[in-house]
Amino acid sequence: MALSASSSFLRGSTTSHDLKGFRSVRLLDKCLVPSVPGDSYLRTFLVKPVCAELKRSDSVVPLAATMVAPEVEDRIETEDYEKLAKEMGHASPLEIMDRALEKFGNDIAIAFSGAEDVALIEYAKLTSRPFRVFSLDTGRLNPETYQFFDTVEKHYGINIEYMLPDAVEVQALVRSKGLFSFYEDGHQECCRVRKVRPLRRALKGLRAWITGQRKDQSPGTRAEIPVVQVDPSFEGMDGGVGSLVKWNPVANVEGRDIWNFLQAMNVPVNSLHLQGYISIGCEPCTRPVLPGQHEREGRWWWEDAKAKECGLHKGNIRQEEVAQLNGNGNESAMDNDIFNSQNLVTLSRAGIENLAGLKNRREPWLVVLYAPWCRFCQAMEGSYVELAEKLAGSEVKVGKFRADGEQKAYAQQELQLGSFPTILLFPKHSASAVKYPSEKRDVDSLMAFVNALR
């Protein structure tokens, strides 16, 4: 149903009434002229993406900041995107795409992963507006995906603007941790280097981006995606919170409808789909799924299903679950913390030094030493916050101390930090802290520890 406008278009019944306010209807009709050889005609007359005019040797990254954008509206920052999302909640992907391209001109680009989000490129082509496409080449994609990029470029007559990771960062990662560290300590670090930072660089040259996120892709993290929103995680070229707009034209479309659309439009698809892959990412982190399995089960299958975002869409994860992007927290003002609760005391370095130095405390303290990017810390957040709620009003104080980055050495030397999370109880009448010895971090186990020692 969400594809109603484009479906009727496919049936040949699209009228100006169907797409009220949609300026490209007449041109769209030309897309289906059967006697015209599709590729060459489209490349010449319909699709004139900005990036198609680039030479391969051109630098594309600074381009976004320097090219003229004649159709961009002047007062983008005054737009109420929540209101717009509601207004466009039932619009077709084609209408949403058209609105996005019309509004942001050359300052917007489609993020293309090499999977079924090729539908976005097809929709963009159907608007007959110029459009840009970028993709993150992590260096770990399947050969089939690289082939597919080439096919898409030729099919649409575009040059995809590839964003590559920083070579020094990749080198440091693989030299220190090997090529498959994500199987050992989670995918966030590798994704941060190979995907998130290149994405951040790309988005800094834009004022808006277009994603292929759908609500049905990940029930845990994507259930509430609006068709347009102020990006909750990344900055655009103007800098600061709110400087980037994120369009999700297929948010309300179901996967099978995307496939029907691709088939009907004869759009090329990644050959991995024929091998059972649905969601496609990097080769070591993606696998085919069985019939009946959810597509996200084919991604980072060794990790907790709730945390299956690579960081590109971390705003989908609720605030208290976000901890994936910024490592030691020095990269961005939009860094997100965890263990956020009014019942928890955030201890500074001076605060925990004072606490640790007290010989006779007036009340016992339970403190978690954590790193917000650590998935084990993330996993225990719910139980720790619940514990803090239960202990609110009792004599036991519950706190947290962020012990990564420059605090790590101190925490290792003075606070028994081994790995994250480390939980310490500072008893009432003892100078020494007691380290929680168990891997069980449910509320009852933690409460038993507190009650035994307080």
Residues classed as catalytic: 374, 377
Which range in 186-194, 237-245, 267-275, 415-423 contacts ligand SF4 by CB under 6 A?
186-194
Least distance in Å: CB of 185 to ligand SF4? 11
Applying CB under 6 A, among 97, 258, 285, 380 the residue interacting with ligand SF4 is: 285
Which range in 227-235, 276-284, 342-350, 440-448 contacts ligand SF4 by CB under 6 A?
276-284
Identity of the residue, 138 or 422, whose beta carbon is nearer to ligand SF4 in the bound complex: 138
Q: What string of DSSP letters covers 147-159?
A: HHHHHHHHHHT--
Which range in 278-286, 322-330, 347-355, 372-380 contacts ligand SF4 by CB under 6 A?
278-286
> Cα separation of 345 and 412, whole Å?
21
**Is residue 373 part of the contact set for ligand SF4 (CB under 6 A)?**
no
Applying CB under 6 A, among 131, 134, 156, 182 the residue interacting with ligand SF4 is: 182
Least distance in Å: CB of 284 to ligand SF4? 5
| Residues forming a β-bridge with 424 | 367, 435
Applying CB under 6 A, among 50, 97, 208, 310 the residue interacting with ligand SF4 is: 310
> Cα separation of 106 and 399, whole Å?
48
Which range in 4-12, 272-280, 282-290, 324-332 contacts ligand SF4 by CB under 6 A?
282-290
**Is residue 281 part of the contact set for ligand SF4 (CB under 6 A)?**
yes
CB count in 10 Å sphere of residue 151:
15
Identity of the residue, 132 or 197, whose beta carbon is nearer to ligand SF4 in the bound complex: 197
Residue 21's contacts (CB-CB under 8 Å, 6 or more residues apart) are: none
444's enclosing H/E stretch is helix 443-453
**Is residue 113 part of the contact set for ligand SF4 (CB under 6 A)?**
no
The helix-helix angle for 118-127 and 143-156 (nearest 10°) equals 10
**Is residue 31 part of the contact set for ligand SF4 (CB under 6 A)?**
no
* C-alpha separations of 122 from 167, 203, 346 in Å: 32, 22, 49
**Is residue 243 part of the contact set for ligand SF4 (CB under 6 A)?**
no
What is the helix, strand, coil percentage profile of the chain, to 5? 40, 10, 50
Q: What string of DSSP letters covers 302-335?
A: TS-GGG---STTGGGS-GGG--SS-TTT-S-TT-
* Residues in touch with ligand SF4 (CB under 6 A): 138, 140, 182, 187, 190-191, 194-195, 281-282, 284-285, 310
